């Protein structure tokens, strides 16, 4: 979301009118002749009316963004957001049915009710309303770009850092994955020449690896050093360089650990990963597989991973309730997931927190809007959350067998939640209750982080067979 001044609204209106005029003048790149104007007058009137309604809708959105949250706070202050959710679901159905009149009317009602600084229901619905509004527009519309505004690289990094710092969400995934990797290394210590090679398919900012560096350094001595090499795939060269610098500088504080980082652009086909003799190879798939745009790419990736003959493969995926094969099923599944995420942030940060707003605007909100519009753009790099059982079947079909999650991992996860939970009571059993909870699943072969009755993340470890 971005605040706009009155002058900017005037510019948008002028832009809208110019776009409409341009559409009148051209059709498929050819100038419309004068004698066709009368034949298209009805279509023109309808189009102009539709564009006026769209512009009016966006004006209401701007009013919502300017509205002081204290005056909106009482809209659903009883904690019952069901009417708002029901209206949102009705709107999604209307959008899916291409019922423009009903869609625009419902969206206008929603923009008058939601708030990005209200309670968790109002906040999460606000971003879903943006996603639905964008779905009514063409990709060439300037309004579409405004609704789907991409955060800058710096904004994305800051929002990721904020969520990492205040919530157990990412730390649960990283610490549990690292514990499984460390235990695989320890099992092979007599024959791996004290060398560990981690292949991370989405190294992102490298936040996962300082804790592993520290854990390995505690096992190393000046006379018995440990070698850690991380091969990390990243989105761009700049991100890889920054990640390498961050990790190399951190590792310098541990003299008994030999650290090396190799950055590769995501999607690179690598034949030789320079394996050292007998080194323990660990493949890290943290929130990566679900970003692949089709099942064929997932299959190719798992086939490549199996060819590496790793000692362990760690899979971490956001938890879905169904395969999102239709827009409405994807919408409903996403709503359940992100409602839990927004609600959990109220346990981590106060309502007026600038950090919480940044997390929701630049990270979660962006993801919501992308998921609601990804089918039009091919679904590239847009997460599709699925059940743990779905990923389990895929892993088994590609020659992997699940291993037990250690009791130490469970203890570590519970300790993390005790440190990171502020207001709500912890739950550690499958049936759960309020607040964050951690659960063993699949007879101890997986461990999940949940919020209330909703699983958020699931970690599992695999070996090649």
Report the 3 state secondary structure along 421-450: CCCCCCECCCCCCCCEEEEEECCCCEEEEE
Q: Is residue 422 very low, low, confident or very high in pLDDT (cuts 50, 70, 90)? A: low
Most confident of 41-55, 60-74, 308-322, 404-418: 404-418
Q: Is the pLDDT of residue 404 over 50?
A: yes
Q: What's the token pair of residue 228?
A: 């850690």
Per domain, the residue ranges of the chain are 82-158+328-377, 161-324+379-401+458-464
User: Quick one: pLDDT at residue 324?
Assistant: 55
Q: Out of 15-19, 147-151, 290-294, which region has the weakest mean confidence (pLDDT)?
A: 15-19
Question: Would you report the helix, strand and coil content of the chain in percent, each value rounded to 5?
Answer: 50, 15, 30
Cα 312–chain centre separation: 25
Cα separation, 380 vs 11, whole angstroms? 32
Phi first, then psi: give them for residue 59, nearest 5 degrees: -65, -40
Q: Lowest mean pLDDT of 103-107, 318-322, 351-355, name the range.
A: 318-322
DSSP string, 72-117: HTTTTTTS--HHHHHHHHHHHHHHHTT-HHHHHHHHHHHHTT--TT
CATH class belonging to 161-324+379-401+458-464: alpha beta
Enumerate long-range contacts of 109-113, CB under 8 Å, 24 or more apart.
110/84, 111/57, 111/60, 111/61, 111/63, 111/64, 112/60, 112/64, 113/75, 113/84, 113/87
Here the tokens at position 113 are 């009710």
Considering only residues 447 and 323, tell me which one the structure prediction assigns the higher pLDDT: 447
Q: Structure tokens of 246? A: 């961050």
Q: Residue 247 to residues 19, 28, 192, 206, 435: CA-CA distances in angstroms?
A: 49, 52, 23, 7, 33
Q: How far apart are CA 321 and CA 285, in angstroms?
A: 20
Cβ-count burial 227-236 (b if 16+ within 10 Å, e if not): bbbbbbbbee
- The 10s digit of each residue's pLDDT in 209-260 is 999 999 999 988 877 899 999 999 999 999 999 999 999 999 999 988 999 9
Grouping H, G, I as helix, E, B as strand and the rest as coil, residue 283 is strand
Q: What percent of the chain has pLDDT over 90?
A: 56
Cβ atoms of 208 and 242 within 8 Å: the answer is no
What pLDDT was estimated at residue 90?
A: 97
Task: Report, in angstroms and rounded to the nearest whole number, the Rg of the chain calculated over CA atoms.
Answer: 25
Tokens 């090649």, residue located: 464
């Amino acid at each position: 979301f971005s605040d706009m001044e009155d002058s900017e609204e005037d510019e948008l209106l002028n832009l809208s009118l110019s776009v409409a005029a341009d559409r009148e003048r051209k059709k498929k790149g050819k100038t419309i002749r004068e004698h066709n104007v009368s034949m298209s007058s009805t279509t023109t009137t309808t189009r102009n009316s539709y564009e006026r309604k769209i512009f009016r809708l966006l004006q209401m959105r701007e009013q919502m963004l300017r509205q002081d949250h204290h005056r909106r706070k009482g809209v659903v202050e009883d904690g019952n957001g069901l009417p708002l959710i029901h209206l949102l679901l009705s709107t999604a159905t209307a959008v899916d049915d291409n019922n423009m009149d009903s869609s625009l009317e419902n969206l206008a009602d929603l923009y008058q009710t939601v708030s990005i600084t209200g309670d968790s229901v109002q906040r999460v619905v606000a971003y879903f309303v943006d996603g639905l509004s964008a779905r009514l527009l063409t990709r060439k519309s300037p309004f579409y770009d405004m609704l789907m505004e991409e955060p800058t690289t710096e904004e994305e990094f800051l929002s990721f850092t904020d969520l990492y710092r205040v919530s157990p969400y990412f730390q649960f995934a990283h610490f549990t994955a690292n514990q499984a990797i460390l235990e695989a290394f320890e099992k092979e210590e007599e024959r791996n020449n004290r060398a560990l090679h981690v292949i991370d398919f989405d190294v992102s900012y490298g936040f996962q690896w300082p804790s592993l560096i520290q854990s390995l350094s505690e096992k190393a001595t000046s006379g018995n050093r440990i070698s850690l090499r991380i091969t990390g795939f990243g989105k761009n060269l700049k991100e890889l360089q920054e990640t390498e610098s961050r990790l190399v500088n951190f590792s310098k504080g541990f003299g008994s650990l030999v650290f090396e980082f190799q950055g590769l652009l995501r999607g690179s086909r690598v034949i030789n990963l320079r394996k050292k003799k007998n080194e323990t190879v660990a493949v890290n798939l943290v929130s990566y597989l679900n970003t692949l745009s089709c099942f064929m790419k997932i299959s190719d990736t798992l086939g490549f991973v199996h060819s590496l003959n790793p000692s362990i493969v760690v899979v971490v995926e956001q938890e879905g309730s169904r395969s999102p094969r239709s827009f409405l099923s994807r919408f409903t599944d996403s709503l359940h997931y992100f409602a839990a995420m927004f609600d959990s942030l109220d346990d981590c940060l106060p309502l007026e927190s600038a950090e919480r707003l940044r997390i929701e605007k630049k990270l979660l909100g962006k993801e919501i809007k992308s998921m609601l519009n990804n089918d039009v753009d091919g679904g590239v790099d847009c997460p599709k959350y699925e059940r743990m059982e779905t990923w389990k079947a895929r892993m088994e079909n590609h020659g992997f067998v699940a291993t037990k999650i250690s009791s130490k991992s469970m203890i570590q996860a519970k300790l993390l939640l005790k440190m990171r939970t502020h207001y709500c009571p912890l739950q550690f059993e499958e049936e759960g209750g309020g607040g964050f909870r951690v659960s063993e699943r699949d007879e101890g072969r997986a461990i999940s982080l949940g919020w209330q009755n909703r699983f958020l993340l699931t970690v599992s470890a695999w070996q090649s067979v």
